[in-house]
Every structure is written in C-alpha cells, then in structure tokens.
Structure 1
Amino acid sequence: MTAADTWSVADAKARLSELLDTVGRDGPQTISRRGRPVAVVVSLDEWERRKRRQGTLAEFLATAPVGNEDLILERDRGGRMREVDL
C-alpha cells in the first residue's frame, strides 16, 4: 500500500467519482480514518473474481501446509460418550 493508493474518508467522499475511476484503472484503493486504514474499495470485477469459490474444502485441506508434518491426531477412545438430549 502506497500513499497514492490511500484516500482519507473526507477525500473519498468529496471525490467519489475520481476514486471509482482510479479503482478501475489502478486497482484497489484504501480508505483511511485518522491515518488508519479502515476499508478497501475494489472494482466489481475484482470482487467477483475474489469471492468465487476455488476448489473444495477437501482439496484445500489436502494441499494446506500443516507446519508440522509429524502431527498425529488421535481420538480419545477411553472416555465415555456424552449424552445428548434430543
């Protein structure tokens, strides 16, 4: 994020049309309040592309880095089953 990609809330409100043109031309723009980033404006095409589901949960889990390849998960078989009121 560069200063050129950041708009204050006041500037974003006053120059909304310019902000939207910049998003379409240069990509996502950050809006800040009191110097802190609070929102990002993206084009509709970018939003649609990013929210599209890519693969299944099983595919994600199969390819996700575990961080510790020695991780072993075991179920505690010594305990009693808990009772559930239906």
Structure 2
Amino acid sequence: MDPITQMVVGISMQFIGLLFQPKPEEPKPPSLDDWDEPTSDSSRPIPVVFGTVELKGLNALWWGEKAIKRRDVKIPTEKK
C-alpha cells in the first residue's frame, strides 16, 4: 500500500476506536457519608485504646482539641 492509503486507514481506525470506547462514569456528588469524622452512637461499642493508634470511623466520645488556644506571654526584660 502507498503511504497515503496507510494514513487514511490509520486515521479512520483511530476515529472508529474513539467512537466505540467506553464512556467514563460520572462521579457521584459529595454527601455526608464521605466524611470520616468520629461519631458517638449508643449501638456501637466504645473502643479501649492502649498506646498510639489511628481510629477511623469508630465510636469516639472525645477526640481531642480541634481548636487553637492563643496565650499572650510577657517576656521579662532586664532593667539597667
């Protein structure tokens, strides 16, 4: 085959492949189920933790401080 015919066949095969490729699924919109925050529920057991571990989605009643506390500190200066 001559090069022109090969290019036409190649471009047409690319176009046919583009037409028949599977369409990607649309992502679902974000919901409250996407959050991985600890919650308190009376139907789930309360975990007892020893040492340093990572808890995900368990029944946690308190998770530590999530706020920053600002404290003003006076630095003593020397008097001459």
Relative to the length of structure 1, the TM-score reads: 0.27
Q: Which has the larger radius of gyration?
A: 2
Higher share of residues assigned helix: 1
Relative to the length of structure 2, the TM-score reads: 0.28
